[in-house]
């Protein structure tokens, strides 16, 4: 059972925008930076966003991240069929012992 | 090109042991922490272990604490995961990933290897 909660799925038509929420607590998101990962079907996860809102080189600016309090959000604009994937948030957590935690994952479907 | 290649997965009986390896290339291995992350079939990501760049810090998930041990060999540019007392619930694709921590305290995993499959079954 993950301590970071994401919606199981979101969907939109090509060209539209989706947002994915990641809800945590003061033990994790509230006091740590958040990263986001994209996992295309059958492939290894890939870093999309780090330090809450920074994009690695090669990641288009259609992808954006933000954080407020104990929640983080990933936004995808100009949705493309190639964006269909599972998306995970992640951050360090210190509620029990020091550990890194991933969100429950969100499936993005392009209608 | 930064590359991580895992090996060592396979079929093992409950209670058995396995040692996973991750060969790193294309970057200065001693400058980065490393982690193991697993994904059970059809499930989400679960962080397993982390080791710092200089071996001074190691963390393990509660689910594997006391059974799994992460280590690294800088001379071989390799990361390892010794897995003992394996259980059916350890069945998963195991990824190694490079961990970056910046001066502000943020950390993230990139890149990831392609994974090695561990199946625990009798």
Please name the member of A47, A99, A105 whose beta carbon is closest to the beta carbon of B61: A99
**pLDDT per position as a tens digit, A65-92:** 999 999 999 999 999 999 999 999 999 9
Nearest CA among A33, A35, A32, A8 for reference residue A20: A8
Interface with chain A: mutation pick from B51, B109, B116, highest number of A CBs within 10 Å: B109
**pLDDT per position as a tens digit, B54-103:** 999 999 999 999 999 999 999 999 999 999 999 999 999 999 999 998 77
A70 exposure class (CB count in 10 Å sphere: 0-12, 13-18, 19+):
middle
pLDDT the model gives residue A2: 80
Put simply, the chain A residues between 1 and 30 with a CB less than 8 A from any chain B CB are 2
């Amino acid at each position: 059972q993950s301590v970071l909660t994401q919606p199981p799925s979101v969907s939109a038509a090509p060209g539209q925008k989706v947002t994915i929420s990641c809800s945590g607590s003061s033990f994790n998101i509230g006091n740590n930076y958040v990263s986001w990962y994209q996992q295309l079907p059958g492939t290894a996860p890939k870093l999309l966003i780090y330090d809450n809102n920074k994009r690695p080189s090669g990641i288009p600016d259609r992808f954006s991240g933000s954080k407020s309090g104990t929640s983080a959000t990933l936004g995808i604009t100009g949705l493309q069929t190639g964006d269909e994937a599972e998306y995970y948030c992640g951050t360090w957590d210190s509620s029990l012992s020091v550990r890194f935690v991933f969100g429950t994952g969100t499936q993005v479907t392009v209608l | 090109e930064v590359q991580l290649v895992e090996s060592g997965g396979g079929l093992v009986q409950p209670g058995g042991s396995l040692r996973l390896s991750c060969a790193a290339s294309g970057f200065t291995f001693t400058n980065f922490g490393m982690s193991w992350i697993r994904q059970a079939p059809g499930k989400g990501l679960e962080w397993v272990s982390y080791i710092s760049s200089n071996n001074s810090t190691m963390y393990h998930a509660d689910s594997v604490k006391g059974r799994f041990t992460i280590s690294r060999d800088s001379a071989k540019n390799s990361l390892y995961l010794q897995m003992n007392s394996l259980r059916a619930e350890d069945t998963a694709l195991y990824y190694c990933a490079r961990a970056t921590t910046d001066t502000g305290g943020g950390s993230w995993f990139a890149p990831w290897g392609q994974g090695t499959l561990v199946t625990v079954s009798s």
